[in-house]
Structure 1
Amino acid sequence: MLRFAANLSFMFTELPFLDRFAAAARAGFKGVEFMFPYATPAEEIRARLDDNGLSLVLFNLPPGHWDKGERGYAALPGREDDFASAVDLALTYAETLKCPRLHCMAGLTTHGATREAYVANLRLAAEWAAPLGVDILIEPINTRDMPDYYLTRTAEARDVIAEVGAPNLGLQFDLYHRHVMEGGVEAAIAEFAPLTRHYQCADPPDRGEPSTREIDYARLFGAIDATGYTGWIGCEYKPRAGTEAGLTWPAACGVTLG
Structure 2
Amino acid sequence: MPKFSANLGFLWPDRPLLERIAAAGAAGFKAVELHWPYDTPAAEVKAACAKAGVKLLGINTSPGDAAKGERGLGAVAGREKEFQAFVDQSVAWAREAGATAIHCMAGNLPPAEAAKGAETFVKNLREASEKAPELTLLLEGLNPRDAPGYFYHTIARKAEIIEMTGKPNVKIMFDVYHVGVSEGDVLTKLRKFMPLIGHVQIAAVPSRAEPDEGEINYQVIYAELDALKYDGWVGAEYKPRGTTDAGLGWMKAAG
User: Aligned ranges for residues 1-258 of structure 1 at < 5 Å?
Assistant: 1-110=1-110, 114-130=117-133, 133-211=134-212, 213-252=214-253, 255-256=254-255
Measure the CA separation in 2 of the matches of 1:240 and 1:229. 29
Measure how far apart 1:213 and its partner are. 4.0
Tell me how large the CA RMSD over aligned residues is.
Answer: 1.4
User: In the TM superposition, what whole-angstrom CA distance separates every residue of 1:182-220 from its partner, at most 9, and x where no partner exists?
Assistant: 000011111110000000000022100002641000001
Measure how far apart 1:156 and its partner are. 0.6
Measure how far apart 1:119 and its partner are. 0.8
Measure how far apart 1:110 and its partner are. 4.0
Measure how far apart 1:226 and its partner are. 1.1
AA matched with 1:123 = R
Measure the CA separation in 1 of the matches of 2:214 and 2:78. 44
Measure the CA separation in 2 of the matches of 1:212 and 1:222. 17
Measure the CA separation in 2 of the matches of 1:240 and 1:173. 23
Measure the CA separation in 1 of the matches of 2:55 and 2:140. 21
AA matched with 2:138 = L
User: In the TM superposition, what whole-angstrom CA distance separates every residue of 1:3-38 from its partner, at most 9, and x where no partner exists?
Assistant: 111011100112222211111111000100011111
Measure how far apart 1:65 and its partner are. 1.2
Measure how far apart 1:163 and its partner are. 0.6
Measure the CA separation in 1 of the matches of 2:226 and 2:99. 23
Number of residue pairs the alignment of both structures matches: 252
Measure the CA separation in 2 of the matches of 1:139 and 1:230. 19
Measure the CA separation in 2 of the matches of 1:7 and 1:29. 10
4+ runs of 1 displaced by more than 3 Å? 110-113
Measure how far apart 1:73 and its partner are. 0.3
Measure how far apart 1:98 and its partner are. 1.4
Measure the CA separation in 2 of the matches of 1:158 and 1:240. 33
SS in 1 for 2:10: coil
CA contact (8 A) 2:4 2:233 kept: yes
AA matched with 1:183 = G
Measure the CA separation in 1 of the matches of 2:198 and 2:241. 28
Q: Gaps spanning 5+ residues in structure 2: where?
A: none
Measure how far apart 1:144 and its partner are. 0.4
Measure the CA separation in 2 of the matches of 1:188 and 1:169. 18
AA matched with 2:122 = V
Measure the CA separation in 2 of the matches of 1:147 and 1:34. 23
Measure how far apart 1:68 and its partner are. 2.1
Tell me the TM-score normalized by structure 1: 0.94
CA contact (8 A) 1:212 1:218 kept: no
Q: Gaps spanning 5+ residues in structure 1: where?
A: none
Give identity over the alignment, percent.
42
Larger deviation: 216-225 or 102-111? 102-111
CA contact (8 A) 2:207 2:214 kept: no
SS in 2 for 1:193: helix
